[in-house]
Chain A
Amino acid sequence: MNPLGIADRPRLAARARLKWDEREKRHVLLFPEAALVLNATAAETLKLCDGIRTVGAIVDELCARFGEQNRAAIAEHVPELLRRIRERGLVET
């Protein structure tokens, strides 16, 4: 699989659906037979995966939201997170 680039435009795969789990107050990513429990950053990242925004734009938007002082961490963490979720076939680029 190609490495995930800053210009890629990730979107949720057809079989994956993001859901707020009211019971345990967190987001989960649902797909056939299973669910991934998401932390807040992962959930915010996946919400921005609309097939239009690039990975770079997603990083920018998260920096605007969580503070520019976190840019280094976000820029490192977000592509890695998307790469892992793409490997499971839940995000497509």
Chain B
Amino acid sequence: MIPRLYTVVAELTYRCPLRCLYCSNPIEFANSCAELTTDEWARVFRDAAALGALQLHLSGGEPALRPDLRELVRAARAADLYVNLITSGAPLDERRLAELRADGLDHIQLSIQDTDRESAELVAGARSFERKLSAAGMIRRAGFPLTLNVVLHRFNIERVAEMAELAAALGADRLELANAQYYGWAMLNRAILMPSREQYDRAELAVREMRERLRGKIEIVFVRADYFADRPKPCMGGWARSYVCITPSGFVLPCHAAAMIGSLRFDNVRDRPLEEIWRDSAALNAFRGEDWMEEPCRSCANRTIDFGGCRCQAFMVAGDARAADPVCSLSPFHHRVSAALSASETREPVYRNALNSRRLCAPR
């Protein structure tokens, strides 16, 4: 049976003013084709809603760099989706926010990199700190509910308590502290970004304290680091089980990272309607359900809980997208994850920019 689609992430563009070391965009982003037009996105939103989708995240890159953002928000609201804008804050001002509010945008998720300006801008590869703080104020004054998002890594994970104080002071409803997930650019920079076990454990404790202290004021979500667990995360709630990510040029993926699995052919909304893709796409069906599983997943009691973990991680670390997620201590490749934890080292960071993108995916 084909499951119901609940959530769509629309990556409106790969353009972005920031160069974050942990960016989840594909390394080859600079080689992607033309972005979907306003009308193409509007059709995708209607088709997604008809499939049952409730939530739409407008993401990127920086989605507010699309000059047609207002039309896109209106189209999404016309399809009765709950619309969240995931932004760096950089291109937003008071007037634009008021317009987006009037257009029906439901919620804004603003990223900040750190509470320390220097560290924040080093990781973002751009001057951005002050701008983000003022964006948070403008977002609240425009009447939007606000989630503040911080990706955690070795250089900021010791400041989770300060992040919670800042989020509360900025009037955020929610703070999402998301440990870096090692795909794409973050994988390239893994040895630099990986926190120590001690740092991670202290952060988890500090989050628990802050949750207690700020109860009723702000909700604090801590997205755990799977490298420090011995069972994998239920990645995306299961491959193509409730969620799709649509790239700027219209490819339909089960998550933002799956394009890296070169053996899969992803369908494009320019060629086939989303409804047909959700049902029939060979790539979406490749790891749907349990039939694809090998041991140790096939007979594992946890397979209905974690769905075998993350296919991209299996592909990257174990070299096989069908293998158990190597984060799992039952994986024969688990030692590679453990080795990455002790291998934190100093080396040149690779910033997410078009030049590096082209250099890294040029034919060798």
Contacts and interface: CB of A to CB of B under 8 A. Distances in A.
Interface of A: 1, 13-15, 17, 19, 21, 23, 28, 30-33, 35, 89
A35 B80 CA distance: 14
Interface in B14-59: 52, 54-55
Nearest to B146: A15
A53 to B, nearest CB: 22
B54 A35 contact: yes
Interface string B165-207: 0000000011000000000000000000000000000000000
B84 A23 contact: no
Contacts of B219: 89
Contact of A15 (B4, B52, B106): B106
B55 A14 contact: no
Interface residues of B, number: 19
Interface string B142-184: 0111010000000000000000000000000110000000000
A15 B55 contact: no
Contacts, number: 40
Interface in B105-137: 106-107, 109
Contacts of B52: 21, 23
26 contacts: A1-B216, A14-B143, A14-B144, A14-B145, A15-B145, A15-B173, A17-B82, A17-B106, A19-B54, A21-B52, A21-B54, A30-B54, A30-B55, A30-B106, A31-B82, A31-B107, A32-B107, A32-B109, A32-B145, A32-B174, A33-B55, A33-B84, A35-B6, A35-B82, A89-B173, A89-B219
Nearest to B52: A23
Contacts of A89: 173, 219
Contacts of B84: 32-33
A32 B54 contact: no
A30 B82 contact: yes
Contacts of A15: 106-107, 145, 173
Contacts of B54: 19, 21, 28, 30, 35
Question: Which 4 pairs show the lowest CB-CB distances between chains A and B?
Answer: A15-B145, A30-B82, A23-B52, A32-B107
> What is the interface of chain B mostly: helix, strand, loop, or mixed?
loop
A37 to B, nearest CB: 11
A35 B143 contact: no
B343 to A, nearest CB: 33
A35 to B, nearest CB: 5
B79 to A, nearest CB: 11
Contacts of A13: 145
Contacts of B109: 32
Nearest to A16: B145
A31 B54 CA distance: 10
A19 B82 CA distance: 9
Contacts of A1: 216
A21 B4 CA distance: 12
A31 B174 CA distance: 11
A15 B54 CA distance: 14
A19 to B, nearest CB: 6
Contacts of B80: 19
B189 to A, nearest CB: 27
A2 to B, nearest CB: 11
